[in-house]
Every structure is written in structure tokens, then in C-alpha cells.
Amino acid sequence: MRILFKSVLIQDSLSDFYNQTVDLLFENGQWVQIGKNLNEKADLLMEQPDLAWAPSIVDLRVHNTLPGGEFKEDWSSLSAAAKKGGVLDLLLLPTGDPVPQQPQALEFVKNMSQVHGVNFVAMAPLTIDNQGDSFTDLFDLFSSGAHWFAHGNSSIQNVDLMSKCLQYLQSLPATLVSRPDTTGLSLYGQINEGLQSTLLGLKGIPNLSETLSIKRDLDLIAYTLSNSFGHTHAKFRLHFSCLSCRESVDLIRAAKKKGMPVTCDVAVHQLIFTEDSMTDFDTLKKVFPPFRTESDVDALWKGIQDGTIDAIVSDHTPNESEVKEVEFDHAAFGTIGLETLFLTCYQEAMNRKISNINQLLSYNPANLVGLNMPTIGIGSEVKGILFQKVPAYPYAVDQIVGKSKNSAFLGYTFNHKILMVLNQHEIAYNNQ
């Protein structure tokens, strides 16, 4: 199929055509011509005002509800949500029930990629059933293709166990993921510990819960490296997920300056909302870690600009209405985010005049996972998002294609929409 795209602004920061408005001719999964005023014959002509192109998204953090949680999200709805949002590669946390923790389970996930046209990458659990007791067969899982390991959706609290996980994996090109939290400090917490928790009478979750965990793990990895006898693999790393506060960014920045093998990400909603969003007890905005202060949000964006933060993730957490439409202190944590990840980041980056957003959404996470992310150029593979500037519109529940509707962005105003997502020889999503 030949598609001619007319007058498209290239928003691919690594492309030679970056910030240029050009015509694009697509055929057989490649860009065959790029230039001005192309008049080639095509099966489909895309000629609309204010068109733009960006690389597709690599999402490093998606909560896996499968098997066992098909009522929240199944493979078809998860794929549809990802494609609609321009997410063509996504890492699945080991959070199914039962937990996918055998080589056969990893192979099954890989097969689902072929069926649904989205690249699912399965993380493996560090301990059996994410219980924090006995190790899974880490080396067997690594040999079966799992190069990312996590303790469910959280972090290991047992210091000795965490230390041994680092020691076992440091000789491999593997990534150990930790969402930093000290449960003794965050237990029963509902929102950020601060002014709003005091005014609303809710138990707060302090920044210390996060930063204490980061400090502990930085000490543990320093200990591991100093006792590795030179056997630490060059591609081994500790990845901190879902940073939420200024102090956390400062800790990671300092660790990177020391040359420590650490990386980190931030969830997109942490870049938009603050604790002031919680004054109406909106359970859709109840997330973990909680929304912090405006100062924290600014620090996260600074971390994006200076390279401290490596990726922006959706932290896509499907929840059925029964656990969200209840009293605030009984409501489940989490928001979906696959469908709005790109649009939210692009819009806020424009508002803040930040130009490296492709790095955080596409190229950096692709490099971390070991994926090829083609940049736009003649002869290159087509893998990206065609989007368009539109009159501002509020995001509504009837626009959500996933099974779960628990989006913190309901009512949020967008001024762009995704028209088409192309993945090699397939039109993965078409809003025409």
C-alpha cells in the first residue's frame, strides 16, 4: 500500500528532517520519498491541516493483569489501548495471577506480540509469586529471554534479599527494577504528606518513604560493585521507576555523576498533577506514589531536561469501577495511561519549551530494552505516529478503548489527536 502524507511537520529530534515540513511517501513499510511538493500516485492521500509525525512510544511500565485479570484488561483491549496511544513496544510488569514466572509464560507473552501486532516484553519476577521469600530461577529466566526483573509492581523490603538479587544479576546484561518505597512509612497512606493531607484529614505518604528506599538501594549497589571482583557486566543496571519528588531526582543525579549503573523513569501523571488536585477526593487521581507539590513537578521536568531522568512511562494500571467508585480511603491506587501518554507529554513539553521529549518516550527506553527505534529518513523503516493539532477538547470516558476506564486524565483538555499509527507493514491504528 502506498500512502502519501502532505505537509507533515517532523517532530523526530534525531531525524535530519527535524522541525521541517515535508511530504512523505510510504510503501512496503518504508519511507521511499521525502521532500517538498511530492505528486506521486498513492492508494491513500493524507492531506489535512497541521499534521505532524513523531516516533512511536516505548513504555517501560505497564501493569500486567494477565492471566487472572481479564475483567480489567485482556490482550485485545491492551493492544487496542497501546495502538491508539502510539505505544508499539511495552514492558509488562510480572503482576498477573498466577505470576508469569516460567520460561513457557515468557514464550506465551512473545506469541501474543505476534498475534496482536504490539511488541510485549515480559519482565520476570525476582521471587516466587512476588512474595519476597524464595528466588525464582533468575538465570533460567534470563536464558529464556527475560532481561528485566522486578518485584511485582513495588520494591523488595528485605535488605538481605535485595542485596542478593543485585549480586546474582550483576554479572548479566540485566536490569533490576525497583519502584522505591519504604512500606513502614507509606502504610495506610492515601495522598502526599503535606498541606492537603492535613486539610483533608488523610494519612500522608512522605517523600522520605521514597528517598530512604533509593538511598538504601544505592548503598547496596555500591556494595555489590565493590565486591564483584571485576565481574559486573557493562550492561547491568538498577532502574528506579516512578520517581515523584525533588529529593529523588537529586539522589539519582548524584549517583550518575559518580558513574553508578543506575537509570530511572517518571510516570506521566506525576508531571502534570500536584497534591492540589486531590481537594475534591477524586479517586481517579489516587495513584502511588501520590501527586506531590508544584516544586516537585518542576524538579522532575528539570531532571528530564538535564538527562537525569531517562524515560517517561504510563504506569498503566487498569482497575474496575468497583474499586474506584468507593470512599477515598478504600479506593485502589492507579490510573490507566497508555492512550494519553504521548499526547500529554507532547503537549506539556511544548508548553515548557522542552525539545528532547522523543528521547524520553522513544529512543532512551528503546536503548534500555535493546530495541531498534528507526528515525525518519529515506529507506528507513516506518514506525511512528501521525498526529494533528485540533481545537481543544476535554478527554471523556467514551474515548477510552481499554476495558478499564480509570483515567486520571478524564476532563483534561488536549489540543492534539492521533490520526494514525504505522508499524512496518501495518496500519496499527487509524482514526480516519
* 97 vs 105: CA distance, rounded Å: 12
* One domain, residues 16 and 156: no
- pLDDT for res 97: 92
Domain final residue pick, 350, 369, 388: 369
Residues 202 and 321 in one domain: yes
List pLDDT tens digits, range 23-67.
999 999 999 999 999 999 999 999 999 999 999 999 999 999 999
pLDDT at 1: 86
CATH assignment at residue 308: 3.20.20.140
Question: What cell does 389 get?
Answer: 493539532
Q: Are residues 37 and 184 in the same domain?
A: no
Residue range(s) defining the domain that contains residue 112: 56-369
CA distance 249 to 298: 11
The rounded percent of the chain whose pLDDT value lies above 90 is: 97
Q: Which of 52, 21, 57 is nearest to 36 (CA)?
A: 21
Same domain, 233 and 286: yes
The number of folded domains in the chain is 2
Joined grid coordinates for residue 345: 507529554
Residue 213 phi/psi, 5° resolution?
-65, -40
DSSP string, 210-265: HHHHHHHHHHHHHHHHHTSTT---TT-EEEE----SHHHHHHHHHHHHTT-SEEEE
Asked if 34 and 101 sit in the same domain, the reply is no
Q: What count of other Cβ atoms lies within 10 Å of the Cβ of residue 149?
A: 24
Cα-flanking dihedrals φ and ψ of residue 92, to 5°?
Answer: -100, 125
b vs e for 280-306, b when ≥16 Cβ sit within 10 Å of the residue's Cβ? Answer: eebbbbbbbbbbbbeebbebbbebbbe
- DSSP type of residue 403: S
End position of a domain, from candidates 339, 369, 399:
369
Region 362-380 average pLDDT: 95
CA–centroid distance for 395 within its chain: 20
- The H or E element containing residue 109 is helix 103-116
Boundary of a domain, candidates 369, 398, 415:
369
pLDDT band at 424 (very low <50, low <70, confident <90, very high): confident
- Per the CB < 8 A criterion, the answer to whether 385 and 55 are in contact is yes
Q: Are residues 63 and 44 in the same domain?
A: no
Q: CA angle, corner 65, sides to 62 and 69, nearest 5?
A: 160
Give residue-wise pLDDT tens across range 6-33: 999 999 999 999 999 999 999 999 999 9
Looking at the fold, whether 141 and 60 belong to one and the same domain comes out as yes
Supply the pLDDT for residue 426.
Answer: 82
Residues 118 and 171 in one domain: yes
Residues 270 and 314 in one domain: yes
Instruction: State whether 411 and 278 are in the same domain.
Output: no
Report the alpha-carbon distance of residue 402 to residue 89 in Å, rounded: 17
The region that residue 230 occupies, defined by phi over 0 for left and psi between -120 and 50 for alpha, beta otherwise, is left
Count of residues making up the chain = 432
pLDDT for 425 beyond 80: no
Rounded distance between C-alpha atoms, residue 37 and residue 419, angstroms: 22
pLDDT in tens, 184-224: 999 999 999 999 999 999 999 999 999 999 999 999 999 99
| pLDDT value for 106 | 93
| Predicted pLDDT at 345 | 97
- CATH of residue 422's domain is 2.30.40.10
The average confidence (pLDDT) of the chain is 96
Place of cell 529523588: 248
Residue 337, pLDDT above cutoff 90 = yes
> Cα-flanking dihedrals φ and ψ of residue 122, to 5°?
-90, 125
* Shared-domain flag, residues 138 and 169: yes
Query: Residue 19 — left, alpha, or beta (φ > 0 → left; ψ -120 to 50 → alpha)?
Result: left
- 71-104 tens-digit pLDDT: 999 999 999 999 999 999 999 999 999 999 999 9
263 pLDDT above the threshold of 90 = yes
Question: Can you give the pLDDT at residue 60?
Answer: 98
Supply the pLDDT for residue 356: 86
Q: Are residue 11 and residue 157 in the same domain, yes or no? A: no
